[in-house]
Amino acid sequence: MPRKKKSNTSESFQNFTSYKPKKGEDYMGETQKDHFRSILQNWKAQLMEEVDRTVTHMKDEAANFPDPADRATQEEEFSLELRARDRERKLIRKIDITMDLIDADDYGFCNACGIEIGIKRLEARPTATLCIDCKTLDEIKEKQQLGS
């Protein structure tokens, strides 16, 4: 059974032009918010298209193979695909929350310390809620708690 080649949709929001702030421009002014709103909307649309493709693929490929090995292979493929879609469903929810933050003028600032997260970091991860320093500390604490 041939495997469908998959693209990593969760990282494909990267198709945008990097924002170049103008001298003296306020952080998270309307132009910057529009830039990130656009990135998030495009990313969400790509994720939703992938969900539609999965449903279509699963309907088209669903077959009751007489060979147990073929059936098991198909079930495993569907299981992996559904797991990926579940992660993307959670990501879509996070994108919606982030767009609400933009609308509420709370986007782009660290939830822990309140400083600017920074345009480059937000372009790398538009749903980021922590500055790089707080995120690093958070990861260190997590490692210590898990004993890794």
Q: Is the pLDDT of residue 2 over 50?
A: no
The yes-or-no verdict on residue 62 having pLDDT over 80 is no
Percent of the chain scored above 90 by pLDDT? Answer: 59
Give the model confidence (pLDDT) of 87-114 as tens digits.
Answer: 999 999 999 999 999 999 999 999 999 9
> What are the CB-based long-range contacts (under 8 Å, 24+) for 5-10?
6/84, 9/46, 9/47, 9/50, 9/88, 10/47, 10/87, 10/88, 10/91
The residue that leads in pLDDT, 7 or 61, is 61
User: Could you give the domains of the chain?
Assistant: 27-107 (1.20.120.910), 108-148 (no CATH)
Report pLDDT digits (tens) over 73-85: 888 988 998 899 8
The pLDDT, as a whole number, for residue 114 is 95
Q: State the pTM of this model.
A: 0.79
Most confident of 6-10, 32-36, 51-55, 73-77: 32-36
Residues in the chain, total: 148
Coil, helix or strand at residue 86? helix
Using alpha carbons, select from 95, 109, 120 the residue that is nearest to residue 42. Answer: 95
Per-residue pLDDT at 5 exceeds 50: no
Average pLDDT of the chain to the nearest whole number: 87
CB contact set of 69 (below 8 Å; sequence gap of 6+):
none
| Per-residue confidence (pLDDT) for residue 12, from 0 to 100 | 54
Q: What is the pLDDT of residues 104-140, one digit of tens each?
A: 999 999 999 999 999 999 999 999 999 999 999 999 9
Which positions ≥6 away from 18 have C-beta within 8 Å? 123
Contact partners, residue 110, CB within 8 Å, separation at least 6: 116, 117, 129, 130, 131, 134
Q: Assign 6 to helix, strand or coil.
A: coil
